[in-house]
Amino acid sequence: MGLHEIALIGIVLLFVLMFLRLPIAFAMFIVGFVGLIVTASLKAATNVLSADLWDQFSSYSLSVIPLYILMGEVVYRSGITSKLFDAAYKWIGHIKGGMAATTILASAGFASISGSNSATAATMATMSLPELKKYKYNKVLSTGSVATGGTLGIIIPPSTVLIVLALQMQQSVRELFIASVIPGVLLTGMLILTVVFICQARPEYGPAGEKYPLKERLLSLLDVIPIFLLFVFIIGGLYLGWFTPTESGAFGAFGAIVLTLLMRRLTWAKFKDAVAASLRSSIMVLMLVVGAMVFGRFLTLTRLPHEVAEWINTLGLPATVIIVCILIIYIIGGSIMDALGFLIISIPIFYPTVLMLGFDPVWFAVILTVVTSMGAITPPVGVNVFIVQGIAKEASLVEVFKGASLFLIAYIIFIALLIMFPEIVLVFIQ
Amino acid sequence: MDVNDTKAPTFVEDVSHEENKVLRIYFQLTSYLNGIMAWVAGIALISMIALIVFNAIKRLFSDPFSGTVEVVGWLAAITATFSLGYAQLHKAHVYIDLLFEKFPEMLQKIVYTIMVAGSVIFFTLVVYYLFQHGLLMKRNGTLSETLQFLFYPFILLCSFGFVGLVLSLIKDLIDCWR
C-alpha cells in the first residue's frame, strides 16, 4: 500500500471516529499516532507522544491561548456585557430594527474581549432576547440577529481561532489580529445594515425604540469605555510592538481582572468560575492544536497535502476559482461541525495549495474565520442557531435558521468583497 | 473552582454493597484528584499572568528576567495538562453527535464504550511515554537552555496530568453502563 492510500485511509478513519462521537482532538491524536507507526516507525510515533508532546504543551507561543480566554471569561462573568448592550441600545435603538441592530453592535463589543462564537451567542441570547421580546420583535429577526451577532466572536480580535490559525500556519498572531480589525468592523456594519434593510421592507419585524437625549447616550459610554480602552491597549500594544501576543494576552487578562475589581463587579466566586471555565475552554483548544500537530506530522510524512497542491496546480484553473472551491468546502465543513475543529483538520490539507497559488497567508486566515463562522449559522449544524434556540425556547429551530439565513446574503457579499479587495485585510500589515 | 460539582454517584440496585463502596471511592477519588489538579492549574495560570506582566513592567526600568519564556512554558504545561481530567469530567472536549444520536440506545452504549476504551488505552500510553521521557531527561541531567535548571519534574507532572484524564475516562466508561 502506498503512502497516499495510507493518508486517505487515515483521513476517512478520522472522520469515522469523529462521527462516532470520539472527541475531535482524541481522534486526531489516535489516527495520527497509528498513522505514524504505519508510515514511519513505532519509535517515531512514540517520540511524538513524549518529546514532541512536551514541547507543544510547554511552548511559550501556545501559552497565549488560556490568557485571552481568561480575559474574556472575567469580563463575561463580571456582567459588563449588560452595559455594552445598554450603551449600544441608547445609541442606535431608536432606528427601525434598532434593538436587533443593538444586539449585533453589542455582540461586536463582546467579541472584542471574547474569542468565541458560542460564548458571544449564548451571552447575547440571554441578555437581548427578553428585550427583543418586550419590544415585540419578530422571533425570526430577533433570534436570527442574536445567532448571527455571535459569529463576530471569532472574527473580531482577540480570537481563539485566529491564534490557532496563526500557530498552524506559522504566521504572526500579531499580524492576524491587526488584519482582522477592519474586516470585523466592516462585517458588523454590514450586518447592522441588513437589519435596517429587513425592517424597511418589513417594518413589523422590528419597531423602533425610544430615542435618548445626547447626554444620556454619552453617560451610557462611561461603563463601556474601560473595556474599549482595554481592547485598544492590547491590540494597539501589539500593533505598536510594545509587547508580544503572549504579553498582550497576559495584560488583557490582568487588565480585565483589575478593571472589573475597580468597577466592583468581580467577586471571588465569579473569579473562580472564570478561571475554571478558562481551564476547560483552554484545554479543549490546546488538545485540538496538539492533536492537529500529531495528525499533521502523519499527513506530512505521506506527502498527500503537497501532492494535492501540485495536482490542483496542474489543472490550470484560475486561482480565484480554486480558492472559491476551497472556501465552499469550508462553508460546508463549518456547517456540519465545530468551526475550530474543521479548521484544524483541514488546514494541513489545503494550506499548501493556497500557498502554491500565491495567496497571502494572513488574508487566507482571516477569510477562513469569516467563512467558517458563517458555517455557525448555516444548516444543518449551525452551532450558534442551536445555542440560541436552546435559550429562546419559544422559537423553533426552523425560525432561528430562517432568521440567521436573512444575514447569509450579507456574509456572501462580504466574502466576495474580501476576495476582490484583499487590501481590506492587508491594509494595516503591508 | 467547583471541585465538588461532579457528584458522587447514586447506585443501581444490582450492584452489590461492596461494589458500591469501591465505585464510590473511585468516583470520589477521581473527582477530588481532578478538582485539586484544576486548582493547581488555576494557580499556574494566574502565576503565568503575574510573571509575564511583572517581567514586561520590569524591563521598562531594568533588565528583564531572562528565564521568563522557560518558566511560562513550564507553567503553561501544568495549566494545560492538570486541566485535562477536570475538562473531561465536564465534557469540555468538542465532539460531533450528529450521527451518533440517531443510533439505537444499545448501539450508542457499545460504540461509546469502544471509543472511551480506545481513548483510555491511548492516553495510558501517553502517560507512560511522557513519564519515560521525563526519566530520560533526569538520567541525562538535561538542563534548560536559559536558566540551566533541571526541568524533568515538570515533564513527570505533565504525565501525571494525563493520569487525571485517564481516570476521568474510566469514570465515563463505568457511568455509561450504570
Please write the tens of the pLDDT for every residue from B154-175: 999 999 999 999 999 999 999 8
Q: Cell numbers at residue A85, please?
A: 448592550
Of A60, A67, A283, nearest to B92 by CB-CB distance is A283
Residue B7 is classified by DSSP as: P
**pLDDT band of A410, cuts 50, 70, 90:** very high
Of A18, A30, A283, nearest to B122 by CB-CB distance is A30
Residue B143 is classified by DSSP as: B
List, for residues A167-182, the tens digit of each pLDDT value. Answer: 889 899 899 999 999 9
Give how far the C-alpha of residue B113 lies from the chain's centroid of Cα atoms, to the nearest Å: 20
**pLDDT band of A232, cuts 50, 70, 90:** confident
Mean pLDDT score, A84-104: 86
**pLDDT band of A310, cuts 50, 70, 90:** confident
In B, which residues are within 8 Å of A33 by CB distance? 122
- Residue A391 CA to residue A398 CA, distance in Å, equals 15
Q: Does B71 touch chain A (CB under 8 A)?
A: no
Q: Does A428 touch chain B (CB under 8 A)?
A: no
In A, which residues are within 8 Å of B155 by CB distance? 54
pLDDT at B2: 44
Average pLDDT, chain A: 88
Residue type, B157: L
In B, which residues are within 8 Å of A251 by CB distance? 52-53, 56
pLDDT of A340 higher than 80:
no
Do B94 and A338 lie within an 8 Å CB cutoff?
yes
SS3 labels along A216-258 = HHHHHCCCCHHHHHHHHHHHHHHHCCCCCHHHHHHHHHHHHHH
Q: Does B107 touch chain A (CB under 8 A)?
A: no
Residue type, B73: G
Q: Does B119 touch chain A (CB under 8 A)?
A: yes
Is residue A385 a contact partner of residue A125, using CB atoms and an 8 Å limit?
A: no
Do B122 and A20 lie within an 8 Å CB cutoff?
no
Mean pLDDT score, A328-340: 77
Closest listed residue to residue A148, CA positions, set A415, A385, A391: A385
Residue type, A332: I
Of B56, B74, B90, nearest to A280 by CB-CB distance is B90
Q: Cell numbers at residue A206, please?
A: 422590528
Of B80, B97, B130, nearest to A283 by CB-CB distance is B80
How many cross-chain Cβ pairs, A to B, lie less than 8 Å apart? 171
**pLDDT band of B93, cuts 50, 70, 90:** confident
Do A338 and B76 lie within an 8 Å CB cutoff?
no
Q: Does A176 touch chain B (CB under 8 A)?
A: no
pLDDT of A190 higher than 60:
yes
Of A20, A66, A341, nearest to B45 by CB-CB distance is A66
Q: Does B72 touch chain A (CB under 8 A)?
A: yes
Give how far the C-alpha of residue A194 lies from the chain's centroid of Cα atoms, to the nearest Å: 21
pLDDT of A130 higher than 80:
yes
pLDDT of A31 higher than 80:
yes
pLDDT at A28: 92
Is residue A352 a contact partner of residue A122, using CB atoms and an 8 Å limit?
A: no
Is residue A56 a contact partner of residue A288, using CB atoms and an 8 Å limit?
A: no
Mean pLDDT score, A305-320: 83
Give the best-scoring range by mean pLDDT among A80-89, A169-178, A336-345: A169-178
Interface ipTM above 0.95: no
Do B98 and A280 lie within an 8 Å CB cutoff?
no
- Residue B26 CA to residue B7 CA, distance in Å, equals 12
What backbone torsions phi and psi does residue A89 show, to the nearest 5 degrees?
A: -65, -40
In B, which residues are within 8 Å of A283 by CB distance? 80, 83-84, 87, 92
Residue B142 is classified by DSSP as: -
Is residue A274 a contact partner of residue A75, using CB atoms and an 8 Å limit?
A: no
Q: Does B45 touch chain A (CB under 8 A)?
A: yes
Q: CA of A397 to nearest chain B CA: how many angstroms apart? A: 15
- Residue A14 CA to residue B98 CA, distance in Å, equals 15
Do A282 and B100 lie within an 8 Å CB cutoff?
no
Q: Does B168 touch chain A (CB under 8 A)?
A: no
pLDDT of B10 higher than 60:
no
Interface of A with B in 372-391 (CB under 8 A): 380-381
Is residue B45 a contact partner of residue A278, using CB atoms and an 8 Å limit?
A: yes
Interface of A with B in 282-311 (CB under 8 A): 282-284, 286-288
Q: CA of B35 to nearest chain A CA: how many angstroms apart? A: 10
pLDDT at B18: 67
Question: Over the Cα atoms of chain B, what is R_g?
Answer: 20
pLDDT of A4 higher than 60:
yes
SS3 labels along chain A = CCHHHHHHHHHHHHHHHHHCCCCHHHHHHHHHHHHHHHHCCHHHHHHHHHHHHHHHHCCCCCCHHHHHHHHHHHHHHHCCHHHHHHHHHHHHCCCCCHHHHHHHHHHHHHHCCCCCHHHHHHHHHHHHHHHHHHCCCCHHHHHHHHHHHHCHHHHCCCCHHHHHHHHHHCCCHHHHHHHCHHHHHHHHHHHHHHHHHHHHHCHHHCCCCCCCCHHHHHHHCCCCHHHHHHHHHHHHHHHCCCCCHHHHHHHHHHHHHHHHHHCCCCCHHHHHHHHHHHHHHHHHHHHHHHHHHHHHHHHHHHCHHHHHHHHHHHCCCCHHHHHHHHHHHHHHHHHHCCHHHHHHHHHHHHHHHHHHCCCCHHHHHHHHHHHHHHHCCCCCCCHHHHHHHHHCCCCCHHHHHHHHHCCHHHHHHHHHHHHHCCHHHHCCCC
- Residue A318 CA to residue A220 CA, distance in Å, equals 51
Do A253 and B49 lie within an 8 Å CB cutoff?
yes
In which region does residue A105 sit, left (phi positive, over 0), alpha (psi from -120 to 50) or beta (all else)?
A: alpha
Is residue A367 a contact partner of residue A418, using CB atoms and an 8 Å limit?
A: yes
pLDDT of A349 higher than 50:
yes
Is residue A77 a contact partner of residue A276, using CB atoms and an 8 Å limit?
A: no
Task: Count Cα atoms within 13 angstroms, Cβ side, for A153.
Answer: 32
**pLDDT band of B16, cuts 50, 70, 90:** low
pLDDT of A140 higher than 60:
yes
- Residue B163 CA to residue A46 CA, distance in Å, equals 17
pLDDT at B98: 75
Of B52, B119, B126, nearest to A247 by CB-CB distance is B52
Mean pLDDT score, B4-18: 47
Q: CA of A162 to nearest chain B CA: how many angstroms apart? A: 18
Q: What percent of chain B has pLDDT over 90?
A: 69
Is residue A292 a contact partner of residue A347, using CB atoms and an 8 Å limit?
A: yes
Do A60 and B2 lie within an 8 Å CB cutoff?
no
Q: Does A393 touch chain B (CB under 8 A)?
A: no
Q: Does B170 touch chain A (CB under 8 A)?
A: no
Is residue A121 a contact partner of residue A387, using CB atoms and an 8 Å limit?
A: yes
pLDDT at B17: 66
- Those residues whose C-beta lies under 8 Å from the C-beta of residue B136, and which sit 6 or more positions away, are none
Interface of A with B in 332-351 (CB under 8 A): 336-338, 340-341
List, for residues B97-149, the tens digit of each pLDDT value. Answer: 778 888 998 999 999 999 999 999 999 999 999 999 999 999 999 999 888 99
Q: CA of B69 to nearest chain A CA: how many angstroms apart? A: 6
Residue B60's closest chain A neighbor by CA?
A242
Site of grid cell 496546480: A313
Of B79, B83, B95, nearest to A23 by CB-CB distance is B95
Give the best-scoring range by mean pLDDT among A1-15, A29-43, A307-321: A29-43
Do A340 and B73 lie within an 8 Å CB cutoff?
no
Residue A339's closest chain B neighbor by CA?
B94
Mean pLDDT score, A345-369: 90
Q: CA of A117 to nearest chain B CA: how many angstroms apart? A: 14
What backbone torsions phi and psi does residue B147 show, to the nearest 5 degrees?
A: -85, -10
